[in-house]
Structure 1
Amino acid sequence: MQLEFHQVDAFASRPFTGNPAMVYRLDRWLDATLMQQIAAEHNLAETAFVVKEDAAWHIRWFTPCAEVPLCGHATLAAAFVLFEQYEEPGEVIDFTCLSGALQVSRAGSQLVLDFPVRRAQPYEWQAEVEQALGVPVQRVLALHEGQGIQELLAILPSEAAVRACQPDLSAVAKLPGQGLLISAVGERHDFVSRYFAPAIGIDEDPVTGSTHCMLTPYWAQQLGKDALIAYQCSARGGELQCELQGERVKIAGQALLIASGRLMLP
């Protein structure tokens, strides 16, 4: 069996920036164990699989070691592949996933994600987050989904503090939730961030669309405006244009095709 794949740099205007994602358009679902093995083989932050069922696109995302309920950059990459490589008609692609309905639309050279708002609440165990980061933080918030914490968000005093932070990744992996997000007001952008998720196989994610579903409502309230320009200041880096619209977040960015090929399976 041969499976066609496409590697895309999402939230990138030039190669080798933004966040790389692998995309597979399948005729039918593979076994979940096999999809996890394929994601581990590629060893990127996310591998996306899409299947058209009942006239709707279904999407699933896998890190090298776990399936996740929501991923922004790999959704952007998947939409880019469907539009550009498979000539999906129209200007909008509707996806369904574990987190509900998602939408990606074309806007000139950009693609725009339409994702649900994810509102974080104050988290009382600030000391353990500070210990993992090795720096003082202004506040910590937690995103609660289902029966537990999905993500943690720590607010730092400055962009310089975000850029300089060198967390203890083993300690971060022991915190509740999938990962730890740090953020601050930006110097040339409205806000900046970095995201660490060693518990799911991602020491630091280059550019994370889904975390901006938390960051956008937080900074919209703090800064008093709904349209924001964000920058994820990882080594690769990436800019995101975010807008809060009620209970939805619009996240816009560019994407580039980097490689295509075939996976050979017995």
Structure 2
Amino acid sequence: METNEITTREKLKTYFETGKYPTEGQFAELIDFFSLKDDIVSNKELVTLANNLAALDNGYILYNTSNIENEKFAIVVHSKEGEDQIFTIGKTENKEQKRYFQGSAPYTVRTKDFLVNQLEGHRYYYLNTQIDDGATMSRLFGNNLPPIPGDFEMGTVENKKISVRISNEDFDRKISNLHTHLTFVNKTEILIEYALYGNYWSNRYVSEDMVTDHYDLGDFLACFYRADLTEVSKAIECRIYDADNDTLLMKASLIPGQKNINVSAGGALAGIRNARIECQYES
């Protein structure tokens, strides 16, 4: 009975050793060993490839669009090996798509070119991203609102995935930006980061001063913190003040001996244009 012997690189090399004359069949075996540009990949090969990719430890992007027609949204992923990948997101028929990253984590994710239609009336594009299962970053753009910049940083994927959702939304009126100035004062040696959330707007975690560009859909901002206090024995309190009159607005406590993730400050900054966050050890 004829057996199907597996073709390996080592076996192919033996056909071309000094003094040997490869046969027609051996040349054919060499050619069949390679996948050529015009080859059609079989369903079996695709399933095998997908299973092998699922076993890898590589990160990936999940993306989904709705109410999108011919718009194209290019996203660049940079790995620590220095490789750049470009993912062009278009119409997905509201079905989630999954694509793997090259290289290994961490992956820095940023925008490249967002080729969008001119929106009229009260229509806007809505971009929402989430890294792993943590904080989200959200923006409206198009129409009378500023576009997404060509090198806008979405965040860094330290673990596995980033989810990206883009939709075309219709509101009941024109939308304008509001700006709140945040001064961040960290009186500890621990890295403490904060993130702000508004209506259709949220910012990735930062550890520096910032100016929001949230929307008049609702003039409020919720605040969350994260910090790794696993090696710290003291609690840290973060207070938010109205910087115009030095009034205490809200505070949050970061617990020692653990990782603090998405710790809420409670309440929201309502109609505040200048705020100050101060974090220090509790006495």
TM-score of the superposition, structure 2-length normalised?
0.22
Rg larger in structure:
2
TM-score of the superposition, structure 1-length normalised?
0.23
Q: Identify the structure with bigger relative contact order (alpha carbons < 8 Å, sequence gap 6+).
A: 1
More helix as a share of residues: 1
